[in-house]
């Protein structure tokens, strides 16, 4: 019986831990066509996410323009949308975030963070601002294009 218990515990423990997965995938924007990035505001998301997103882009040299909810992608050469939600499990944590980047109306990059299946995984309790900064940094790996000295913009 003892051997049978051992044989059952290992696979069951593996299954339980697999259910506590946090996933993060980033498809970076390889070539940004403009130094300006327009972000369409999502009123359903906590304001801190947008503030962090803008701060990181400005730190990379981008000019950021905030567009109202429902704005069309055609307003800017580079446009971004975002969504996120938080959950409560002993503390409030960001459970999901999805940032998409479009150039000329075509999706060219995406950063996705999903801790909804995090279960007992304690790394889900990362600060949302820290995770968003990391995602944006990976989504826009280079900074904004700068003109060489003497060149006119």
pLDDT at 145: 75
pTM for this entry: 0.75
CA 33 from centroid of its chain's CA atoms: 20
Neighbours of 68 (CB within 10 A): 9
List helix spans (H) across 25-127. Answer: 47-59
Q: Tell me the C-alpha distance between 137 and 29, whole Å.
A: 11
pLDDT tens per residue, range 31-57: 887 899 999 999 998 788 899 999 999
């Amino acid at each position: 019986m003892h051997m049978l218990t051992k044989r059952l515990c290992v696979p069951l423990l593996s299954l339980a831990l697999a259910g506590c997965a946090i996933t993060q995938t980033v498809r970076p924007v390889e070539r940004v066509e403009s130094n300006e990035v327009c972000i369409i505001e999502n009123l359903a998301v906590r304001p801190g996410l947008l503030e962090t997103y803008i701060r990181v882009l400005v730190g990379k040299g981008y000019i950021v323009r905030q567009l109202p909810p429902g704005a069309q992608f055609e307003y800017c050469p580079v446009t971004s949308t975002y969504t996120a939600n938080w959950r409560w499990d002993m503390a409030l944590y960001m459970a999901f975030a999805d940032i998409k980047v479009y150039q000329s109306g075509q999706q060219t990059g995406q950063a996705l963070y999903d801790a909804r299946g995090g279960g007992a995984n304690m790394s889900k309790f990362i600060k949302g601002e820290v995770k968003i900064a990391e995602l944006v940094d990976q989504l826009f790996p280079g900074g904004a294009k700068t003109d060489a000295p003497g060149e006119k913009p």
